[in-house]
Amino acid sequence: MVKINRDYLDTYFSYGVDTKNRCIFLVGDISDESVGHVIKGAYLMEYEDSTKPIEFRIMSAGGDIYNAYGLHDVTRTLRSPIHTMGIGQIMSAAILLIACGEKGNRYAGENTTFMIHTPSWDKEYTNQYNHKIDVKESERLWKRWYDLMGKYTKQPSKFWQKICDKKVDYYFDADQALEWGLIDGIWYEKEG
């Protein structure tokens, strides 16, 4: 077992993990590296005390959907309640990570911008058969995304699919996110 000392904690904090305040920051792309740090930090805090909440503060333009699903699954299986806070931009795959927090404890700053869009991916195809397989996989992944958004918000999965089917980036603000049930509250300046 690793002995936890100040240097160890400073290293974790440099990766966006604040164990003292039970807060993890996911800032930037949703990637293997960023999600790996969040998961490791969450398990460390879970080990220290599984009865206290862990807060995820997220500011992301999105990223890899597989990594978003991995972090989603971790947040749903930890014993510690996961509180989420969106800051600045919550876009693409990051929207699911705000929505899957514990109901009643999902927030966004008053100037947070949200964006969802038609599913996309960057692939180089070696042949038409691989292309067909990737299209089928994309359809499976996004159907799951629509279903999860329907589960965590006040809107059904068809609502989320309809927005994505517009084939353009769809931007909305914290007030709209609150109305749709994506978040439970908006943080304003210096609230108590």
Query: pLDDT tens across 63-97, in order?
Result: 999 999 999 999 999 999 999 999 999 999 999 99
- Our count of domains for the chain comes to 1
Percent of the chain with pLDDT over 90: 71
Domain of residue 86, residue span: 6-121+163-187
pLDDT at residue 9 greater than cutoff 80:
no
Q: How many CA atoms lie within 13 A of 115 on its CB side?
A: 17
- CATH code of the domain covering residue 85: 3.90.226.10
The total number of residues written for the chain in this structure: 192
Confidence of residue 15 (pLDDT cuts 50, 70, 90): low
Any domain includes 173: yes
Q: Is there a domain that residue 46 lies in?
A: yes
Has residue 45 got a pLDDT over 80? yes
In a domain, 169, yes or no: yes
- Decide: 92 and 61 in contact? Cβ < 8 Å: yes
